[in-house]
Amino acid sequence: MTKKMKLSQLSDILQDLDVESLEGVTIEGDIELNITGGGGLNPALAYALGNEISQISLHMANIGRMLGFPAEQLFASAFGLGEMPQPEALPTSPKIQELLASKFEVAKVDNWKNPIQEVTLGATSGDGGSRKSTVTIGGENALPYYFDAEMPHRNYVTMDVFDMPIGMAKAVKGNYEDVINDPAEWAKKVVRDFNADMVTIHLISTDPLINDTPAKEAAKVVEDVLQAVDVPIVIGGSGNPEKDPEVLERAAEVAEGERVLLASASLNLDYERIAKAAMDYGHNVLSWTQLEINAQKELNRKLMKQCNVPRERIVMDPTTAALGYGLDYAYTNMERIRLAGLMGDDELTFPMSSGTTNAWGAREAWMVSSPLNQDSDWGPREYRGPIWEIVTGLALSLAGNDMFMMMHPTSVQVLKEITQTLYGSIESEEIDITNWIGAEV
Transcribe 7-52 into DSSP letters.
Answer: HHHHHHHHHHTT-GGGTT----S--EEE-SSTTSS-HHHHHHHHHH
pLDDT greater than 90 at residue 280: yes
Ranking 111-115, 212-216, 312-316, 361-365 by mean pLDDT, the lowest is 361-365
321 domain-assigned: yes
256 domain-assigned: yes
353-354 and 403-406 strand pairing: parallel
> Which bin fits 51, alpha (ψ -120 to 50), beta or left (φ > 0)?
alpha
User: Across residues 372-392, what is the average pLDDT?
Assistant: 82
pLDDT greater than 90 at residue 267: yes
Structure-derived torsion over alpha carbons of residues 48, 50, 53, 58, reported in degrees to the nearest 10: -100
Nearest to 2 by CA among 33, 48, 45, 31: 33
Give backbone dihedrals phi and psi of 219, rounded to 5 degrees, phi first.
-65, -30
Q: How many structural domains comprise the chain?
A: 1
pLDDT at 415: 96
User: Across residues 22-41, what is the average pLDDT?
Assistant: 55
pLDDT, tens digit (0-9, with 9 covering 90-100), for 338-351: 999 999 999 999 99
Structure-derived torsion over alpha carbons of residues 185, 401, 296, 320, reported in degrees to the nearest 10: -60
Nearest to 266 by CA among 230, 234, 242: 242
pLDDT, tens digit (0-9, with 9 covering 90-100), for 147-171: 767 899 999 999 999 999 999 988 8
pLDDT at 393: 95
435 domain-assigned: no
Show the domain range for 243. Answer: 116-423
pLDDT, tens digit (0-9, with 9 covering 90-100), for 52-96: 777 777 777 777 777 777 777 777 776 666 665 555 555 555 665
pLDDT greater than 70 at residue 11: no
Expressed in angstroms, the distance from the first to the final Cα of the chain is 79
pLDDT at 299: 98
401 domain-assigned: yes
Percentage, residues of the chain above pLDDT 90: 59
1 domain-assigned: no
- Under a CB-based contact definition with an 8 Å cutoff, are residues 71 and 64 in contact? yes
92 domain-assigned: no
Q: Give the CATH number of the domain where residue 185 resides.
A: 3.20.20.20
pLDDT, tens digit (0-9, with 9 covering 90-100), for 200-219: 999 999 999 999 999 999 99
pLDDT at 381: 73
pLDDT at 97: 60
Q: How many CA atoms lie within 13 A of 144 on its CB side?
A: 27
User: Across residues 39-43, what is the average pLDDT?
Assistant: 60
